[in-house]
Amino acid sequence: MNSQPPTLGPPNVVHLGSPSASAITCGGGGSATAERIPWSNSTRPVTTGEIVVRVYEIWDGDNIGDPHVGANATSTNVCAGAPPDPTPRWYLVLAAPNGTNLLTYTGPGGWASVAGGAWNITIADGSDLVLVTGASLAGTGRGLTVYGFANNSAITGSIPL
């Protein structure tokens, strides 16, 4: 019986750009905050099926959950329905380099297509991760991280909000 762990390859590092926050009006009424985080590049291509996204407290690493949040995005609007609760509820929208919203992500539900297409797609360099929250998390000691594992290599990337 061979009980040796697999040999791990070099990490696949995701480089995220500086977030920019803006107030948005949601299609269902009310407002939210959209924090646009550029996906500059990664060491090797990454698919959405290979990563998990979390919002976390920088000082202790605790996850900021999003129970019962619903992602309300269309291909042209990151908040097409009601805004998330003003408590730390959030969902994420993956926007292509041309600005088209492709997928949404929630912790409980994972990735979902905005227009009914595939949910497991390669994330193109120059895409944006758009964090939609009821109340801004910018400058509050929180961060966004993506992590996973593929082809015997860890996938890691994070940025303070």
The DSSP symbol for 42 reads: E
The pLDDT value recorded for residue 80 is 94
Contacts of 1 (CB under 8 A, 6+ apart): none
Taking residues 30-55, what's their average pLDDT?
A: 96
Dihedral over alpha carbons 133, 68, 57, 148 (to 10 degrees): -100
50 contacts 148 by C-beta, under 8 angstroms: yes
pTM: 0.92
146 contacts 154 by C-beta, under 8 angstroms: no
Phi and psi, residue 48, nearest 5°: -65, -30
User: Helices H, strands E: what count in the chain?
Assistant: 0, 10
Q: What percent of the chain has pLDDT over 70?
A: 95
